[in-house]
C-alpha cells in the first residue's frame, strides 16, 4: 500500500514564488483503507494550519472533500492549501495520519520566496588616507532574495560605483541579508549619496545626507575632547592642592620641633 502523501504529485519538491502572490498546493494520499481514511493536516514553517476564520483572516486552507473517493487500489483523499507567500515562509508540509494507529507520513515543499530588496541600514565612516579629499567607507545592509545588485550614485545622478564588496551574513540567523561596503574619496561633503538595490522583483533606494553625517560625526569627538580636557584639569588641580597641603604640613612640623641648646660649664657659673 502506497500511503505516503504527495504535494503536486511529488513527495518532496522545491517551489519558487514571489511575495504576496497566491499559489495553490494540492496534497494527495492514496491506498488507504476505506474504513480508516487518513487525516490530512498542513504545516507551514512548522506550525499547524487551521481552516480560515469566519471573517476571512489568516492563511487560507481548503479541503477538497468532493475529491475524496474509493479507488481500486484503496481510498484516496485530497486537500488543497492556498498560500499567500510571505518572505519568511520556508517550508510547507502535508501530513497524512492514520486516526487508528497514529502512523503519519509527510510530503514536503521547500519554499523559495522572492521579494523586493529592503535597505535595512545605510551609514558611512571615515577612513584614513594620504590621498587628497575626504575618504569614506559606505555601508549598506540589504535584505533581498534573489540577491540585489547595488549601485552607488552622487547627488547629480552620476554613477559612483556599480560594484561593491559584500559579506553574506549567517544564513540561519539572517537569511538573505548581505552587508555591502564601498570605499570612496570625495572632494567635499556637500550633497547626498544614494544607493539603489535592484533584483528581478523590483528596486529600492535610500539616501545618505553627507552634511548631516559630518555634523553627527564631528559632535561626538568634540564632546569627548572637551570632557577629557575637563577631567584632566580637575585631576591636575587636585594633585596640586594635595602637594601644597603636604608641603605646608611639613613646614609646620619644623617650626614646632624643640631646639636643644648646649651650654658649657663656664657659661653656667657666670
CATH number at 36 reads 2.60.40.10
Let me know if 61 is exposed, middle or buried by CB neighbors in 10 A (0-12, 13-18, 19+): middle
Task: Give the integer Cα–Cα distance in Å for 88 and 193.
Answer: 31
Residue 268 is predicted with a pLDDT of 46
Nearest to 77 by CA among 130, 41, 121, 127: 41
Report the number of distinct structural domains present in the chain. Answer: 2
Is the CB of residue 95 less than 8 Å from the CB of residue 43? Answer: yes
Q: What is the pLDDT of residues 118-151, one digit of tens each?
A: 999 988 877 666 666 667 788 889 999 999 988 8
| Residues 122 and 61 both lie in one domain | no
- Residue at which a domain ends, from 63, 89, 114: 114
Q: What is the pLDDT of residues 143-191, one digit of tens each?
A: 999 999 888 887 777 777 655 555 655 556 567 888 888 877 766 556 7
Grid cell at residue 201:
522583483
Q: Which helix (H) or strand (E) holds 229?
A: helix 210-256
- Residue at which a domain ends, from 199, 214, 229: 214
Task: Give the integer Cα–Cα distance in Å for 79 and 264.
Answer: 129
- Residue 89: which domain range? 6-114
Amino acid at each position: 500500500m502506497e500511503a505516503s502523501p504527495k504535494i503536486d504529485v511529488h513527495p518532496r519538491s522545491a517551489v519558487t514564488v514571489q511575495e504576496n502572490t497566491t499559489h495553490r498546493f494540492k496534497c494527495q494520499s492514496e491506498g488507504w483503507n476505506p474504513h480508516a481514511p487518513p487525516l490530512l493536516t498542513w504545516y507551514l514553517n512548522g506550525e499547524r494550519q487551521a481552516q480560515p476564520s469566519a471573517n476571512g483572516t489568516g492563511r487560507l486552507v481548503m479541503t477538497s472533500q468532493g475529491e475524496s473517493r474509493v479507488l481500486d487500489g484503496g481510498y484516496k483523499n485530497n486537500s488543497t492549501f492556498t498560500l499567500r507567500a510571505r518572505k519568511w515562509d520556508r517550508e510547507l508540509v502535508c501530513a497524512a495520519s492514520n486516526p487508528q494507529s497514529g502512523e503519519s507520513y509527510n510530503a514536503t515543499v521547500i519554499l523559495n520566496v522572492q521579494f523586493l530588496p529592503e535597505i535595512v541600514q545605510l551609514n558611512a565612516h571615515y577612513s584614513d588616507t594620504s590621498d587628497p579629499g575626504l575618504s569614506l567607507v559606505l555601508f549598506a545592509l540589504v535584505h533581498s532574495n534573489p540577491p540585489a545588485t547595488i549601485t552607488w550614485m552622487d547627488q547629480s545622478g552620476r554613477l559612483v560605483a556599480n560594484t561593491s564588496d559584500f559579506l553574506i551574513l549567517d544564513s540561519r540567523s539572517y537569511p538573505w541579508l548581505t552587508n555591502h561596503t564601498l570605499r570612496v574619496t570625495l572632494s567635499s561633503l556637500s550633497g547626498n549619496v544614494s544607493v539603489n538595490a535592484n533584483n528581478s522583483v523590483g528596486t529600492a533606494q535610500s539616501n545618505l545626507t553627507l552634511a548631516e553625517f559630518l555634523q553627527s560625526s564631528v559632535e561626538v569627538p568634540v564632546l569627548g575632547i572637551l570632557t577629557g580636557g575637563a577631567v584632566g584639569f580637575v585631576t591636575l588641580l587636585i594633585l596640586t592642592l594635595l602637594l601644597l597641603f603636604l608641603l605646608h604640613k611639613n613646614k609646620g612640623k619644623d617650626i614646632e620641633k624643640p631646639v636643644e641648646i648646649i651650654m658649657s660649664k663656664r657659661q653656667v657659673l657666670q
